[in-house]
Structure 1
């Protein structure tokens, strides 16, 4: 990069990084010593209607790993985290399910939890207690939609395409299940999904499905993640790349997902196009830094919405929606937005600030 561009970027990144100074101070307050998991928000920890949940706990593990601190956790804490996930695996189906909420009834949440729990266990050096879902040995209520191409096409037709993000989040949530299939069946269903979404793509923007601009961008983001997980190029990558920049330049960002999604989307499709140019990197950092200020909360975390958390980030109520950080948004900022911006800028991300006695706070 030119000296002027590099200097501007350094200033923007320093301002952006200041928003993270108390993240690791905030995180231990969400730890549930009894159950071995993490709550979604600080106000949830003292409320009888909430418990530690799979997604929040997986997010916390990812944040700790990103900070390079998994090895610093006391052995008893690591053991408790492993037990938390293993206790939530359903012996019969192989899925990981929260006992206290509606996850069992929501297909895309089952897929998300399968991916998150198995990944967290691997980070912790452990494995599931029971076999994972085996869609190759006969249909169950949870896997009938991947039993054949016809069943999968019918399932795709039933997605809520009036909401671009939700429809394609459903698809991306199936990636972990598809990867468990025998190669021939997996390839057939992956090809079906790619062709199906491609047929719905707008030839100008590359977006598929309906919704406000950030919703359509977020749908493209979910599709791009699916393509990356299954090892397939993203169709209409150039159109998506250009449209994503147009959205972040012109639309108000009121959701932390709307801040994270274009950063990772531009990274994924940009790599496919040969890289993100320095001017585009500088613009992405500038816009992201400006938008990030509205999501940083005084407790040290980040909130899903401007000025307040989101009660039910994925169709399951986890908090009160107060002016506080939550693990859904904070995870996105720490594990995706921050490292991606630094990497695109060609700068090593500095270590997150670690409070004195940090690891001891999980056992106090």
Structure 2
């Protein structure tokens, strides 16, 4: 069965033809960052952003290229991330002021930037925000935290669970005695919300519920708590993969990430089927420019913030933060997920790492001979 899975993955590696020239095209040597999409660069209306740049370097790392960074490529990347840090708050921001209004985007930018600088052997220019000093008002007491949890809408499980998980960093900095009442509030409420038959959380389409469940699982794993109803979740996931249409790259990636985070034994026949379905769905999102689109209809102009996406309503969303023109084109958000899917499937199958072939001529401004 392992040989069959390896053959499935090897046959599908052809869908990455043209991907790395596309990735190289998004690089901006002047800033040291990466653009989100071709239209972002060609339109002249956008600049390289934190998330796309971090995702691009994650791709380079996963594909074995990070160790080939030239001195200039490394210095450019460090300069990019350091220039985005606000000296007053310690957070990292893109130029669009609407980004600061979304706590999820701000939290991601902080994580992306600090992790990238660490990998590059550098540090932020200014002190990082201390979670206990910048904690939101709901962290004043376990009771207020419980009220806040119950105020988050799960009409869209994906967005709602993402917001619930955004409280984890504030809880993690508390000492053990202080932390426990908050965790009791969280896990008691999560237990009330979980659907007993499916094991999933919240509302929305089946794929949206899987995505929300994956988000919530990161909370359980962070605090070393077992995931309840794992068997029901696994059964639901298989049924959804077999029956539902995946119209978003996240709908392909999130089930794979959920399986990885669940840390369960997957029968070989199931894994072969999961690989075939996932890679077949991924191929539908490949574009003529060599990249992948997040959505079946094209690349979303604002990948993190939208009131309606693929017919799914996202409540309580701030103003959009556009990164591109939303054309039928590859985008960095989808590209990093496609690479993750490919490598994670090999990991789930217990196969050795085998990198995709990448010509030495690519990324001349970023990689080359190691220092």
Same fold (TM over 0.5): yes
Task: Please say if residues 294 and 307 of structure 1, whose CA atoms lie closer than 8 Å, have aligned partners that are also in contact.
Answer: no
Is 1:306 the counterpart of 2:296 in the alignment? Answer: yes
Tell me the CA shift for residue 187 of structure 1. 4.3
The structure 2 residue matched to 1:37, chosen from 26, 33, 36, is: 33
Indicate the residue corresponding to 1:248 in structure 2.
241
Tell me the CA shift for residue 193 of structure 1. 2.5
Indicate the residue corresponding to 2:274 in structure 1.
284
- Taking structure 2 as the reference length, what is the TM-score of the superposition? 0.89
Indicate the residue corresponding to 2:118 in structure 1.
122
The structure 1 residue matched to 2:355, chosen from 342, 351, 354, is: 351
Is 1:195 the counterpart of 2:188 in the alignment? Answer: yes
Task: Please say if residues 43 and 319 of structure 1, whose CA atoms lie closer than 8 Å, have aligned partners that are also in contact.
Answer: yes
Task: Please say if residues 131 and 169 of structure 2, whose CA atoms lie closer than 8 Å, have aligned partners that are also in contact.
Answer: no
Indicate the residue corresponding to 2:338 in structure 1.
333
- Taking structure 1 as the reference length, what is the TM-score of the superposition? 0.90
Instruction: Evaluate the alpha carbon distance shift between residue 293 and residue 234 of structure 1 in structure 2; reply closer, same or farther with a 3 A threshold.
Output: same
CA distance in 2, matches of 1:191, 1:129: 37
Task: Please say if residues 21 and 352 of structure 1, whose CA atoms lie closer than 8 Å, have aligned partners that are also in contact.
Answer: no
Indicate the residue corresponding to 1:229 in structure 2.
222
2:258 is paired with a residue whose SS is: helix
Instruction: Evaluate the alpha carbon distance shift between residue 146 and residue 128 of structure 1 in structure 2; reply closer, same or farther with a 3 A threshold.
Output: farther
CA distance in 1, matches of 2:175, 2:34: 35
Highest RCO, 1 vs 2 (Cα 8 Å, sep ≥ 6): 2
The structure 1 residue matched to 2:17, chosen from 14, 21, 38, is: 21
Q: Which stretches in structure 2 are left out of the alignment for 5+ residues? A: 306-320
CA distance in 2, matches of 1:104, 1:46: 26
CA distance in 1, matches of 2:171, 2:121: 24
Indicate the residue corresponding to 2:164 in structure 1.
171
Indicate the residue corresponding to 1:59 in structure 2.
55
1:133-190 deviations in Å (ceiling 9; x for gaps): 22324xx4x6323333223223222222111000111123343444344444444434
Indicate the residue corresponding to 2:324 in structure 1.
319
Instruction: Evaluate the alpha carbon distance shift between residue 69 and residue 185 of structure 1 in structure 2; reply closer, same or farther with a 3 A threshold.
Output: farther
CA distance in 2, matches of 1:107, 1:53: 17
2:89 is paired with a residue whose SS is: coil
Is 1:48 the counterpart of 2:52 in the alignment? Answer: no
Q: Which stretches in structure 1 are left out of the alignment for 5+ residues? A: none
Indicate the residue corresponding to 1:11 in structure 2.
7
Task: Please say if residues 72 and 366 of structure 2, whose CA atoms lie closer than 8 Å, have aligned partners that are also in contact.
Answer: no
Is 1:208 the counterpart of 2:208 in the alignment? Answer: no
Between 1:23-32 and 1:37-46, the stretch displaced more is: 23-32
1:61-110 deviations in Å (ceiling 9; x for gaps): 11111111112122122112112112222222222111224110111111
Is 1:89 the counterpart of 2:65 in the alignment? Answer: no
Indicate the residue corresponding to 2:231 in structure 1.
238
CA distance in 2, matches of 1:143, 1:131: 19
Instruction: Evaluate the alpha carbon distance shift between residue 23 and residue 133 of structure 1 in structure 2; reply closer, same or farther with a 3 A threshold.
Output: same
1:301-347 deviations in Å (ceiling 9; x for gaps): 2110125211111012111121211110111111x211111112222
Tell me the CA shift for residue 116 of structure 1. 1.5
Give the number of equivalent residue pairs. 353
Indicate the residue corresponding to 2:308 in structure 1.
none
CA distance in 2, matches of 1:194, 1:82: 39
Task: Please say if residues 72 and 365 of structure 2, whose CA atoms lie closer than 8 Å, have aligned partners that are also in contact.
Answer: no
Indicate the residue corresponding to 2:94 in structure 1.
98
Task: Please say if residues 31 and 38 of structure 1, whose CA atoms lie closer than 8 Å, have aligned partners that are also in contact.
Answer: yes
The structure 2 residue matched to 1:219, chosen from 202, 209, 212, is: 212
CA distance in 1, matches of 2:180, 2:212: 22
Indicate the residue corresponding to 1:295 in structure 2.
285
Tell me the CA shift for residue 349 of structure 1. 3.5
CA distance in 2, matches of 1:157, 1:87: 38
Instruction: Evaluate the alpha carbon distance shift between residue 53 and residue 15 of structure 1 in structure 2; reply closer, same or farther with a 3 A threshold.
Output: same
Between 1:99-108 and 1:210-219, the stretch displaced more is: 99-108
1:144-163 equivalence runs, <5 A: 144-163=137-156
